[in-house]
Structure 1
Amino acid sequence: MRSSSYKYLCLLNSSISTPLYFTFFLLHLTILVTGDSPQPYLPLDNIALNCGSSSEKYVNDTNWTADINSKVALQDSGSIQSTVHDQASTNPVPYHTARVSCSKFTYKFPVTTPGPKFVRLHFYPASYPGFNRSKASFSVTTGRYTLLSNFSGVHYTETHGARGYAREFILNVEDERKNLSITFTPSPHVADAYAFINGIEIVSMPTNLYYTAGGMKDFNKEFNSDPLQKETALEMMYRVNVGGAEITPPDDTGMFRMWLSDIDYLTDARPSAYQYNDTIQLQYNNDTRYAAPDELYRTARTMGPDAINAEYNLTWEFPVHSTSTYFVRLHFCQFIPIVLKKGDMISKIYIANQTAELNADIIDWAGGNGVPIYKDYPVMMHAGGIEEFQNLSIALHPSPNTFSFDDAMLNGIEIFKFRKRDHLSGTNPGAYQDSPTSTTPPCATSSKPKLVVDYILGLQFHFIVILFCYWFS
C-alpha cells in the first residue's frame, strides 16, 4: 500500500512562471489518495536461453538456461559454442557466450499454448575465435516469417557502443503442436558467411495486448481501421517512457520489456515540463492493465505553463526505414489534479507531419482523471528521395478548443514496424569492413573450384596459341 499523503511534482526546464501553476502545485500537495500498483502479468511461457552456455545463470530476475542439455531442441550440422574475448565491454548474460555456425541451425522451443509471444534475439557481434567478424551475415526465420535478412549486427555496435542488444518481435504462434522453431541460415551469397546468436527469449503476453479488439485510427487514409490481425507480425523499433527515466525489464509489467528515456529523441521541447505523480490511484481497465508499467503512467512531459506554447510543437523524432509501415502507440494518463473534466486540456497530435488528432482530450477518451489509455495509429513512411532512413515525428500542440490550459501531455510512445506480408526485415544498413581475425576462417570454401577454373583458362590459352600459329604459318 502506498503512502496516503498526496505528492505531485512538476519539474520545469524553466522556473514556474505563472500564478495558476504555482497555486495548483501548493493546493494539491494536501490531497489524500491511496492505491496499490497492479500485480504483474505472469506469462505462461517465459523462456530465456543463454546460447553457447553450459550452465544456468540467474540475472535481473531472469533464469537464463544453457542451450546444452536443455529442453530446447537444437538441430544443427556443426554449430559450436564460443566465448566473447572482450567481456569487459558488454553485459555478462547472455552476451559472454554464443552459438556460432557456418551452416544452418534451428532451435525448437516447446511453448505451453499457442498465441502471441515476444521473441527477443540477443546479439553481440564480437570477434569470435576462428571467425572473421566481417563475414557475419545471415537470416533468421520462424514459420512463415523472415525476421532478419542479410543481418550482420555490426552496424548496431557502431551506434550503440560496445555492448550487446536485442531485436524484439511480436508474433502469433499458430502451431497446435505447441512448438516455435527459429532458424539461423548463413547468407549463401557471402563467401565464408556464418550465423551467430547469444540469447533468445520467448515470453507470452495477454491476447489483447497488441492484437487488440479495437481498431487503429487511420488518419492518413491509407489503411482501414481494422485491428491488428493475428497473422501480422511486429518488430519493436522504439519503446519510450516520456518524461521519465529508463524502465528496466525487471520493472516492466511481467513481460521484461525495456522502456528508454525520451531525452535522446526530443528535438523541440521549449521549455517543457516533467510531470510526476507517485500516489494517485491509477484506474486500469482490461485493455490497459498490462499495457505499460505503473511508473510510465505516473510520469509525463507537458509543454509547461508558458505563453510560448502557442508558438511551437513539442516534438520527438525517431529514425525509421523509408517505404515501410509502422504501428504507433501513444500512452496517456491525465494525472494533473486540476485537470478534471472534458475540455480542460485539449491538444493536437501530429504523426509523420500529418494531423492524427485535432482534439485530443485525455479525460474524454479515458473517462476520468488517473485512467491510463492508449491510442494506436498506422503510419506509412513514403520514399524520402534516395534516403534509406527518415525521421518519424510525433508532435503535440495546444488546441484552440481547449477550455482552461493551453498545454499538451504525453506519457509513453511505442513504435513497431509491421507488414501483413511475411517479410519483416529491412535493409541491413552500413556495410562494415573489418580486418580478418583468422587467416583461415572455418567457413572457408575448398580451393578445388579455383583450380578447375585455372585449368580451363589454361586450356583456352593453349588453344588460342595453336590457332594463331595455324593462321600465320
Structure 2
Amino acid sequence: MNGKTWSLLSLLCLSILLFLPTRSNGQDFALSCGAKEPSTDPEKKKWEPDAKFLKTGNSIQATATYQDPSLLSTIPYMTARIFTAPSTYEIPVKGDKRHLLRLHFYPSTYTGLNISNSYFAVAANDVTLLSNFSAAITCQALTQAYLVREYSLAPIEKDVLSITFTPSDKYKDTFAFINGIEVIEMPELFDTAVLVGFSDQMADAKAANLQSMFRLNVGGQDIPGSQDSGGLTRTWYNDAPYIFSAGLGVTLQASNNFRINYEKMPVSTAPADVYKTARTQGPDGNINIKSNLTWTFQVDTNFTYIMRLHFCEF
C-alpha cells in the first residue's frame, strides 16, 4: 500500500481534555486464538482460548514454527487460528457502548502453509476493517515481526459483536489467520469535532468507527498497556521518532510528588504519566520566534483524521 495505512475514520493521539463519564465496568475479552488452555502474558493480562466464540467456518488451530526474538510475549503470538473459508466470531457486548477492538497478527509459518499466500478481509458486524490484507507484506514494510491493529467501534445496537475473517478470492490457496483478539468496553471519548480549515463543517466522531493510528507520550518514554488508565490497556509511544528535523526542543518532567486531579474528565482519558512529561521550544524567546516544533506522520490522504491534544500544567 506504498506505506499508506487504510482505515475507516482515523484517530491520532499526541499526548484538549474532554468532560466525559467514567468507564463502566463492562466485560472485556482477550482471546488467544488457536490456544487450547488459558494463559497469562508478562503484563499479567489473562487470555482465554477462542474456540467457544467461533461460530461458523472452517478453521485450524496452529502453532508458529519460529519465535522471533522481537516478540515481547509468546502470548498470543505463538498460536493462531487459520481460516480457509469465511469464519465468524461472536462476542457478547453491550450494544449501547463503544468498544476497543484489537487484532494481533504474527505472520510466521503455520502447519506448512505459506504465509505469503495469506490475503483476507476482516469485518466487525457490517464495518469493513481490513480488505485484501496481507500481514506479511505489512510487517515487512514496517520492518517488524508482528502487528496490532486497533479500532474504536461505535455502538452497534446489538448485543453481539460479529468479527468475520474472509480469505481473498483473488489468489490461489489463500487463507486468513489471527493470533489474538481483544474486545474492551470503553467510555465515549469522542464528540463532534470541527474540521480544520472548514469552520462551518463538523465531523461526528461520536458516531464514527475509528482506527487508531498514533498514540504518543510527548516528552516521555513508552507507556505499556499494563500502565494505561481506565483498564483500556493502550500503549503510548515515545514521540521523538516523529519529530521533524533535529529540533527536538526541551523535554520537561513533573516532580515526583505531582498528582493529576481528574475532576472533570475520566481517568481513562489518558494515564497520569502522559501528563507528567512535556516538550517545549525552550525559554529563549529569540530562538522560539525563529523555529517551531513539528511532528510528522505518514498517513493516507483519502481519509479524515481526528487529532486529540492533551495538555496539563505543572
Instruction: State the TM-score, normalized to the length of structure 2.
Output: 0.85
Q: Taking every aligned residue pair, what percent have the same amino acid on both sides? A: 36
Q: Distance in 1 between matches of 2:218 and 2:166?
A: 38
- CA displacement 1:318-347 (0-9 Å, x = unmatched): 101122211111111121xxxxxxxxxxxx
The reply to whether residue 304 of structure 1 matches residue 282 of structure 2 is yes
Cα pair distance change 1:273/1:145, threshold 3 Å: same
8 A contact 1:117–1:170 mirrored in 2: yes
Q: Distance in 1 between matches of 2:124 and 2:249?
A: 44
Equivalent of residue 226 in structure 2, options 250, 260, 263: 250
Q: Which residue of 1 aligns with 2:44?
A: 61
- CA displacement 1:41-69 (0-9 Å, x = unmatched): 5641210000000011112131100123x
Q: Provide the secondary structure at the position in 2 that maps to 1:173.
A: coil
Q: Which residue of 1 aligns with 2:103?
A: 121
Give the letter for the 1:96 counterpart: M
Q: Distance in 2 between matches of 1:327 and 1:117?
A: 17
Question: What is the number of residues matched between the two proteins?
Answer: 287
Q: Which residue of 1 aligns with 2:65?
A: 85
The 5 A counterparts of 1:209-224 are: 209-210=189-190, 212=191, 215-221=192-198, 224=201
- CA displacement 1:232-257 (0-9 Å, x = unmatched): 10000110000000000010011000
Equivalent of residue 241 in structure 1, options 212, 217, 226: 217
Deviation at 1:191, TM superposition (A): 1.7
Give the letter for the 1:317 counterpart: T
The reply to whether residue 328 of structure 1 matches residue 302 of structure 2 is no
The reply to whether residue 293 of structure 1 matches residue 276 of structure 2 is no
Query: Larger C-alpha radius of gyration, 1 or 2?
Result: 1
Q: Distance in 1 between matches of 2:265 and 2:58?
A: 46
Q: Which residue of 1 aligns with 2:16?
A: none
Q: Provide the secondary structure at the position in 1 that maps to 2:298.
A: strand
Q: Which residue of 1 aligns with 2:9?
A: none
Q: Which residue of 1 aligns with 2:173?
A: 192
The 5 A counterparts of 1:29-428 are: 43-59=25-41, 60-68=43-51, 70=52, 72=53, 74-89=54-69, 90=71, 91-112=73-94, 114-176=96-158, 178-206=159-187, 208-210=188-190, 212=191, 215-221=192-198, 224-225=201-202, 227-230=204-207, 232-253=208-229, 254-268=231-245, 270=247, 272-277=249-254, 278-306=256-284, 307-335=286-314
Q: Distance in 1 between matches of 2:29 and 2:266?
A: 24
8 A contact 1:268–1:313 mirrored in 2: no
Q: Distance in 1 between matches of 2:219 and 2:111?
A: 43
Q: Distance in 2 between matches of 1:143 and 1:302?
A: 43
- CA displacement 1:413-464 (0-9 Å, x = unmatched): xxxxxxxxxxxxxxxxxxxxxxxxxxxxxxxxxxxxxxxxxxxxxxxxxxxx
Cα pair distance change 1:275/1:309, threshold 3 Å: same
- CA displacement 1:110-168 (0-9 Å, x = unmatched): 12453100000000111212212211000001222000000011133224445322100
Q: Distance in 2 between matches of 1:55 and 1:120?
A: 20
Q: Which residue of 2 aligns with 1:347?
A: none
Give the letter for the 1:102 counterpart: T
8 A contact 1:136–1:193 mirrored in 2: yes
Structure 2 unaligned runs (5+)? 1-21
Q: Distance in 1 between matches of 2:89 and 2:263?
A: 37
CA RMSD in angstroms, aligned pairs only: 2.0
Instruction: State the TM-score, normalized to the length of structure 1.
Output: 0.58
8 A contact 1:116–1:173 mirrored in 2: yes
Which has the bigger relative contact order, CA under 8 A and spacing at least 6? 2
8 A contact 1:55–1:65 mirrored in 2: yes
Deviation at 1:288, TM superposition (A): 4.8
Deviation at 1:202, TM superposition (A): 0.2
Q: Which residue of 2 aligns with 1:422?
A: none
Q: Distance in 1 between matches of 2:200 and 2:75?
A: 41
- CA displacement 1:263-322 (0-9 Å, x = unmatched): 110113535111111323323234353211100011111111233211111011010112
Q: Provide the secondary structure at the position in 2 that maps to 1:128.
A: coil
